[in-house]
Copies of this chain bind each other. A is one copy, B any other.
Amino acid sequence: MKVEVRILRFWKSLALGLTVSVAVMTGGVQADEGMWLFTDPPLRQLKAHYGFEPGPRWLEHLQQSAVRFNNGGSGSFVSADGLVMTNHHVGLDSIHKLSRPDRNLVETGFLARTRDQELRAPDLELNVLLSVEDVTDRVDSTVQPGMEGEAAEKARRAAINQIEQESLKATGLRSDVVTLFRGGQYHLYRSKRYTDVRLVFAPEKDIAFFGGDPDNFEFPRYNLDMCFFRAYEDGRPARPEHFLRFSKDGCREGDLVLVAGHPGRTNRLDTLRHVEVTRDLFLPEQLDLLRRREVNLGVYASRSPENLRQASDALFGIQNSRKARQGALQGLQEPEIMATKAERERDLLRAVQADPRLASRFAMAWDQVDRTLEVARELHEPLTLLEGGAAFDSRLFRLARTLLRLAEESDKPNSERLREFSEANRESVLLALFSEAPIHPDLEVARLADSLSLLLERRGPKDPLVQAILAGHSPRRRALELVQGTRLADVAVRRALHQGGLSAVRESRDPMIELARLVDGPSRELRRRHDVEVEEPQRQAYGLIARASKEVGGTEVYPDATFTLRLAFGQVRGYEEAGREVPWFTPMGGTFQHAEEHDSLPPFRLPASWLEKRSRMRLDTPFNTVSTADIIGGNSGSPLVDRSGEVVGLVFDGNLASLVLGHAYTDQQARAVSLDSRAILEALRSVYEATELLGELGR
């Protein structure tokens, strides 16, 4: 199974954010801009603007306290006993999977007062980055000059898989070769992996996601978007070398704050033409699909409280993603924004063309991107349907595909495998494959039926593959038949198929495996074409464009986000909106007023615990705060620390301005939104009376 960056709050993996490298070329990064590598931190900026000079140990401490949530999100160690802090919406997937009809932890919240009450998440993996090695030369040297498309892509994949496998063998650590600057650099990341992760505390969703979709990406805000897990090793709480302490004083306006987290994806290096295709094709298509799923799941959820419980996690992800992409699209529909983008590209191109040495090395890159875009356009719909799985929106189908591909790929030399089935990734794939997370048959039917209908609508009933997939039935009937017929919901059946190897999955009569087999040929072929005709040439071209930017604009530059660890920084600061001052924080007491203004109806309904404990709470405690740090989806759950490296907040969102203007860094209105560390402590103390946790946090 592909290690999937799950849809998170903020702009998601595919969402946008352009400009930066372009800003760089034409004169420099704005004050608080940048998602910097820990290997190349913004020391000059921190010193110049804030007089702050973090040493190597300061950086190492923060880096190794930071935790990557492998299902998409960030977190940090906050105690010597492996306590991990993240957002509720990052933990939601696990909290949801730990719930049952009679134990709805999403609704009721959860608090383990002793270690043996902690609940093990069925398939959660955490990583801590321990070391980084530049392997650019080794990867690039495998791609011979003149090598094109297929050969280049194969050679590069082989080299990457090989480096990862060697590292895994040598160190036993999770080893990922990550692509930076869209192909301009390759780094080998070695990480410690935790797969026994247990839920310690989660508040009720009504306060964790108070205000729901309408308040999402907005400020002022009143969310206790937090939860705690604990990492275990060999059945005992982990003892991490580094962890962050909670600040005693918190932050105040004007303070420097720093963020260590895993921003999911930006496309700031994209050419103008690439951005136009994103605006005119990719984003509208993605939005259509998201709206379709939102309506379909919303209808399912509305039928009963139990249906709502089953669907709520997925529904949140979809709504969040829809709102993020809508914001991105609206940003790209602003003529000024595209004009700025065009102007900057023109400046860079002029600079390149003005210097013959630059021109001969870089000028062809833009045409090369254009050519890949033509193929990307052509492949977009079939690729989304088949390889992207839009036509098979079902966990059971994804399990079937994973079983099939895992068997097929394991039979090949490691260097020839699909990336996500490389030896280095095997443990993560198996964790997801054998997850005990419950599968809801009715929900599966509802999602699969609608996505099979999408397939039929898009490709038409005369398409031979469609006919084979539907097997003479309507989408609804076929979905029912597949979900009722498959036995893959049973983990033991999945284990047996996996142990049976290639022959077992090739001969299986399980209808979902049969469907996966039927689709796999065309699906792989589409992916192959995309890898060879889009990804690889884009990698080469953007590698050139990144270098051109550096050479024209100077060396201070950070790569587009790739769900790898980054350091961002900024200032705690309010802003002006529609002529009004928006203060830098909201007080906890404002939560009650906000509920009343909305008649306390969902999603503006407060949990009983908050209503009961209102009189005990210090209502003037800062609840949510804003800062100018440059963050994006995947940063959810990142710790916000001060100069001393102590936690002053927990990043959980960006405001609407940061979303609409997400293509370009700006500190005018765009803000990262965090949960204040003082509110975390106050809630644990006054509302949840979590004395054990407070003790562990040293407060």
Contact = CB atoms under 8 A, between A and B. Distances in A.
Given A280-B461, A295-B294, A453 B214 contact: no
Interface string A285-296: 000100110110
Contacts of A457: 280, 284
A17 B292 CA distance: 24
Given A288-B288, A305-B598, A334 B474 contact: yes
For A288, A323, A474, A475, which residue has the most chain B Cβ atoms within 10 angstroms? A474
Contact of A603 (B295, B302, B460): B302
A637 interface: no
Q: Is the interface of A mostly helix, strand, loop or mixed?
A: helix
B460 A280 contact: yes
For A330, A602, A603, which residue has the most chain B Cβ atoms within 10 angstroms? A330
A288 B280 contact: no
Given A288-B292, A295-B295, A603-B302, A329 B213 contact: no
B330 A476 contact: yes
Contacts of A597: 304
> How many copies are assembled?
2
Nearest to A307: B214
A298 B475 CA distance: 27
Contacts of A335: 472-474
Contacts of A456: 333
For A292, A295, A475, which residue has the most chain B Cβ atoms within 10 angstroms? A295
A601 interface: yes
B280 A291 contact: no
Nearest to A218: B303
Nearest to A322: B295
Interface residues on A, range: 35 or more
A599 interface: yes
Nearest to A284: B457
Contact of A601 (B295, B305, B475): B305
Interface in A460-476: 460-461, 472-476
A299 interface: yes
A122 interface: no
A212 interface: yes
A502 B299 CA distance: 48
B295 A333 contact: no
B302 A333 contact: no
Given A291-B292, A305-B601, A599-B305, A213 B333 contact: no
Interface string A437-480: 00000000000000001001100110000000000111111000
A304 B598 contact: yes
A158 to B, nearest CB: 40
B598 A329 contact: no
Given A302-B212, A461-B280, A599-B305, A330 B294 contact: no
Contacts of A334: 474, 477
A291 B323 CA distance: 15
A502 to B, nearest CB: 34
A285 to B, nearest CB: 9
A38 to B, nearest CB: 38
A474 B338 CA distance: 11
Contacts of A603: 302
A333 B453 contact: yes
Interface string A303-341: 111000000000000000011000001100111000000
A214 B296 CA distance: 11
Interface in A109-160: none
Nearest to A292: B291
Interface in A565-604: 597-599, 601-603
B333 A474 contact: yes
A461 B278 CA distance: 13
A299 B461 CA distance: 34
A335 to B, nearest CB: 6
Contacts of A473: 335
B292 A213 contact: no
Interface in A631-666: none
Contacts of A291: 288, 291-292, 294-295
Given A333-B475, A473-B335, A214 B280 contact: no
A405 to B, nearest CB: 30
Contacts of A475: 330, 333
Contacts of A453: 329-330, 333
Contacts of A599: 305
Contact of A303 (B214, B279, B461, B477): B214
Nearest to A212: B302
Interface in A526-569: none
A343 B298 CA distance: 38
A104 B528 CA distance: 58
Contacts of A288: 288, 291-292
Contacts of A598: 304-305
A597 B280 CA distance: 46
A294 B319 CA distance: 13
Contacts of A330: 453, 474-476
A400 to B, nearest CB: 23
Nearest to A330: B476
Given A214-B302, A294-B295, A330-B476, 10 more contacts: A212-B302, A213-B299, A288-B292, A291-B292, A304-B598, A330-B475, A333-B476, A334-B477, A335-B474, A601-B602
29 contacts: A213-B299, A214-B299, A214-B302, A280-B460, A280-B461, A284-B457, A288-B288, A288-B291, A291-B291, A291-B292, A291-B295, A294-B295, A298-B298, A299-B323, A302-B603, A304-B598, A305-B598, A305-B599, A305-B601, A329-B453, A330-B453, A330-B474, A330-B475, A333-B456, A333-B475, A334-B474, A334-B477, A335-B472, A335-B474
Q: Which 6 pairs, one residue from A and one from B, show the smallest C-beta to C-beta distance?
A: A284-B457, A214-B302, A333-B474, A334-B474, A291-B295, A214-B303
